[in-house]
């Protein structure tokens, strides 16, 4: 067994892990990235469509190009990468933390460090998670798995496709399956509005004439050996209308019904999770309740754009470096998700240094007003021309915004949308 020590270890070598590791190395700390796949880049490597990097690089890149741009920066930094190595266990209770990694190349690795960054990304919800009635025929895939099959393995899983859920991966796959010669008959969405980004609705559905059934529930998957169709019923005024059910024939169903942060490892290490996101609860330093363990990227909360993943992960890396130098959070206010706010990340803000906060709304609205109040006193308001649940909202609070509430007892920052 190899036994190695680093100042910091990053679990996951996607965009988040690489960005965080670069910050740690730039601050002079030794750092290792452990990645279970054979290469770095994470989910980006299978996203061969463009649309990445408009904020980070001011250019429209494909997923692999974006990953390559970041990976190139690792050269000469001294960051050690263990690819094809999976972290199976982690003990983070003491100052010196230990993890065990299994790898075909090195066997068992025992790695120790004072700081750990969780950057394990997320996984897809599947048929079991949403319990669609019907038989168990072949031909039901999650959209991300289908993407991997088509883009990396060179295998097209069917010809006549129905996509359940209008998340971004499903929308991207509607276009991708059309490009490889399949007929995409419909995207079926239970909600009255799409779950994916507007640009993907336009570019992946409208441009290809693919119908989107909003407020429709898939009530059955039909077929014994192989999928033969899906039964779909409309929802009107909140009530299912089974008498108006209709069947869409198809041989393949792709599920795009949400992503779940990958936190089994975090849970076993005693990291407290936020029931709204499935990711860790983090303080103003993006640190979990376990001292020295930080989280960023999709393992923290599912992001819409990789540019925001990178921005947040850089901050996580810089905070971890600060923590290694002895920096600790100052006086913090707990953040409360108020009216029409689904969640915020982080869940605490440092009143002296301000904060960057990402949040998701529960509503679709034009001309929305976001209010930030500390103990009922408005510290900042923001107007947004349009908001929707599929698009993350970024807020910044400066120390000036907060200085008048610095002495407030038990401060609570409530963010609400009207």
Ligand X SMILES: Cc1cc2nc3c(=O)[nH]c(=O)nc-3n(C[C@H](O)[C@H](O)[C@H](O)COP(=O)(O)OP(=O)(O)OC[C@H]3O[C@@H](n4cnc5c(N)ncnc54)[C@H](O)[C@@H]3O)c2cc1C
Judged by the rule CB under 6 A, the positions of this chain that interact with ligand X are: 11-17, 34-37, 42-44, 47, 51-52, 86-87, 119-121, 144, 147, 168-169, 172, 262, 265, 297-298, 303, 305-307, 309
210 token code pair: 């693919």
d(CA 135, CA 103): 38
- Least Å from the CB of residue 31 to ligand X: 15
CA 131 to chain centre: 23
- Least Å from the CB of residue 240 to ligand X: 29
- Least Å from the CB of residue 251 to ligand X: 22
d(CA 345, CA 16): 15
The residue among 173 and 397 lying less far from ligand X, judged by its C-beta, is 173
The residue among 16 and 372 lying less far from ligand X, judged by its C-beta, is 16
- Show the 3-state SS of 95-148: CCEEEEEEECCCEEEEEEECEEEECCCEEECCHHHHCCCECCCECEEEHHHHHH
- Least Å from the CB of residue 69 to ligand X: 13
The residue among 83 and 233 lying less far from ligand X, judged by its C-beta, is 83
34 token code pair: 């452990």
The residue among 97 and 380 lying less far from ligand X, judged by its C-beta, is 97
119 token code pair: 């950057």
Contact 272, 159 (CB under 8 A): no
- Least Å from the CB of residue 408 to ligand X: 34
Pairing label, strands 80-83, 31-35: parallel
The residue among 21 and 169 lying less far from ligand X, judged by its C-beta, is 169
The residue among 62 and 241 lying less far from ligand X, judged by its C-beta, is 62
Q: Which residues contact 354 (CB under 8 A, 6 or more apart)?
A: 396, 397, 398, 399, 401, 402
- Least Å from the CB of residue 167 to ligand X: 9
């Amino acid at each position: 067994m190899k036994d190695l020590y680093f100042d910091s270890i990053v679990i996951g070598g996607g965009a988040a892990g690489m960005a965080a590791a670069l910050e740690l190395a730039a601050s002079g700390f030794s750092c290792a990235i452990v990645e279970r796949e054979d290469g770095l880049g994470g989910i980006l490597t299978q996203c061969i469509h463009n649309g990445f990097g408009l904020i980070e690089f001011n250019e429209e890149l494909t997923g692999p190009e974006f990953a390559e741009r970041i990976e190139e920066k690792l050269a000469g930094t001294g960051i050690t990468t263990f690819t094809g190595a999976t972290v199976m266990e982690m003990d983070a209770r003491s100052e010196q933390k230990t993890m065990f990694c299994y790898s075909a190349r090195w066997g068992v690795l025992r790695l120790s460090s004072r700081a750990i960054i969780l950057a394990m990304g997320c996984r897809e919800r599947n048929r079991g998670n949403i319990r669609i009635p019907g038989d168990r025929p072949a031909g039901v895939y999650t959209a991300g798995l289908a993407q991997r099959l088509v883009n990396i393995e060179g295998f097209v899983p069917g010809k006549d496709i129905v996509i359940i859920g209008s998340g971004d991966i499903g929308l991207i796959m509607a276009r991708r399956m059309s490009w490889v010669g399949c007929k995409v008959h419909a995207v079926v969405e239970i909600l009255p509005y799409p779950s994916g980004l507007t640009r993907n609705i336009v570019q992946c559905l409208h441009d290809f004439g693919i119908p989107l059934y909003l407020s429709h529930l898939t009530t059955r998957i039909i077929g014994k050996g192989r999928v033969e169709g899906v039964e779909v019923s409309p929802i009107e005024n909140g009530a299912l209308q089974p008498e108006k059910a209709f069947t869409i024939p198809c041989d393949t169903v792709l599920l795009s019904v949400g992503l779940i942060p990958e936190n089994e490892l975090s849970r076993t290490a005693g990291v407290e999770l936020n029931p709204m996101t499935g990711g860790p609860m983090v303080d103003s330093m993006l640190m979990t309740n376990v001292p020295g363990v930080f989280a960023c990227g999709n393992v923290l909360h599912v992001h819409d754009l990789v540019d925001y993943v990178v921005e947040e992960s850089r901050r996580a890396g810089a905070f971890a470096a600060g923590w290694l130098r002895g920096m600790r959070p100052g006086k913090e206010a707990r953040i409360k998700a108020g009216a029409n706010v689904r969640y915020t990340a982080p869940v605490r803000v440092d009143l002296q240094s301000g904060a960057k906060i990402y949040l998701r709304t529960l509503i679709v609205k034009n001309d929305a007003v976001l209010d930030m109040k500390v103990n009922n006193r408005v510290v900042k308001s923001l107007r947004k021309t349009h908001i929707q649940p599929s698009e993350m909202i970024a807020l910044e609070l400066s120390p000036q915004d907060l200085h008048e509430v610095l002495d407030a007892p038990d401060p609570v920052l409530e963010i609400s949308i009207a």
